[in-house]
Amino acid sequence: MTVLVTGAAGHLGANLVRALLAQGRSVRALVYRDRRALQGLNLEIFQGDVSSPASMEEACAGCEIVYHLAVFISLRDEDWPRMKAINVEGTRNVVNACLGQGVRRLVHVSSVHALQNEPMDQAIDELRPLVDWGDALPYDVSKAMSELEVRRGMDSGLDAVILNPTGIIGPHDYKPSHFGEVLLALARRKLPALVVGGFDWVDARDVSLGALQAEEKAPSGSRYLLSGHWISIKEIARIVEQFCAVPSPRFVAPMWLATLALPLSPLLFRMGVNRALYSRASLQALRANPNASHAKATRELGYQPRPIENTLEDTLTWFRENGSLEAPGSGRLLERG
């Protein structure tokens, strides 16, 4: 039976589709416009839009499994209308189409950002409540609201599983993602300074494998946090420096100074970064709860994220092989343990 992947041409989608094809599955890839990530793959391309109920009914027809990855990620408050249309209303359309077309299981990819950070002295796990409007960022709220749409579907009999990955990085980052641009900016010496803080990053390939494990093993209605490893921005810059043989920025701004400097962040656009590294949303993420537990996913699904150093090396190698980075005159690959 056919497996539908929404958001198939995105960063996670490009990795999940390859994992499904490696299993010999028949894949239908829902694509809105950009197809670069899927070129040369043996799959069915379905041009559609999650914001269209009719489009989703047609896309889900004849599918046994649906992986819902389509999402609009933005760090800007003014993008709320589009986030609501795609992340919330789009998920509603996917859920309704799954119910209407008799899909056996929906695997919905949410985000750690849908979960509350506090209390900060305790690890984030699957028992954390969803964020609400309050002080939460619009993107975080949109992901929480999308989960409520999936829960509504479950109440109507839909077999669904929810996954909450942390920050996704890794190969097949064609657009590239926000963090992919950060890595490229570091490798090209386009960032004048770093900032104190870090985040839990997880390899897109590991999230894909976790999703496959959830499809096969997870009880209906369950949730799994798919985290990786917390690493500081300063340590990431050190790894990029070692791999690319370019010096990393030496100035590391404290959080209070980075916050004061936010009005100047658009200057980064003229330095080759398509989206500003430092924004209200990104600074909030860098001081978020550093402890996200994947213990449940490991225990019940066999989920095991690879070392973050390997992920960064593989991502930079992929950028280099795809023409986004020039090979350094000197430098070496990281030695894997």
Domain range spanning residue 15?
Answer: 2-172+201-228
The pLDDT value recorded for residue 282 is 65
Does some domain include residue 156? yes
Q: Are 281 and 137 in contact (CB under 8 A)?
A: yes
Does some domain include residue 115? yes
Q: What is the CATH number of the domain that holds 96?
A: 3.40.50.720
Output the CA torsion 2→7→8→12 (10° steps). -120
Please, what is the angle between helix 308-321 and helix 178-187, to 10°?
Answer: 80
Collapsed DSSP state (helix, strand, coil) of residue 337: coil
The pLDDT value recorded for residue 337 is 40
The pLDDT value recorded for residue 147 is 98
Does some domain include residue 328? no
Does some domain include residue 98? yes
pTM (2 d.p.):
0.91
Collapsed DSSP state (helix, strand, coil) of residue 333: coil
The pLDDT value recorded for residue 265 is 57
CA angle (236, 15, 272) in 5-degree steps? 45
The pLDDT value recorded for residue 281 is 62
The pLDDT value recorded for residue 208 is 98
Does some domain include residue 148? yes
Q: Please, is 166 exposed, middle or buried when counting C-beta atoms within 10 Å of its C-beta (0-12, 13-18, 19+)?
A: buried
Low-confidence ranges of the chain (pLDDT < 70): 253-287, 327-337
Does some domain include residue 189? no
Do strands 223-226 and 160-165 pair parallel, antiparallel, or not at all (unpaired)? parallel
Query: What are the C-alpha distances in Å from 337 to residues 39, 133, 237, 309?
Result: 33, 44, 20, 10
Does some domain include residue 116? yes
The pLDDT value recorded for residue 280 is 61
Does some domain include residue 11? yes
Instruction: Return d(Cα 115, Cα 112) in angstroms, integer.
Output: 6
The pLDDT value recorded for residue 270 is 43
| Count of the separate structural domains present in the chain | 1
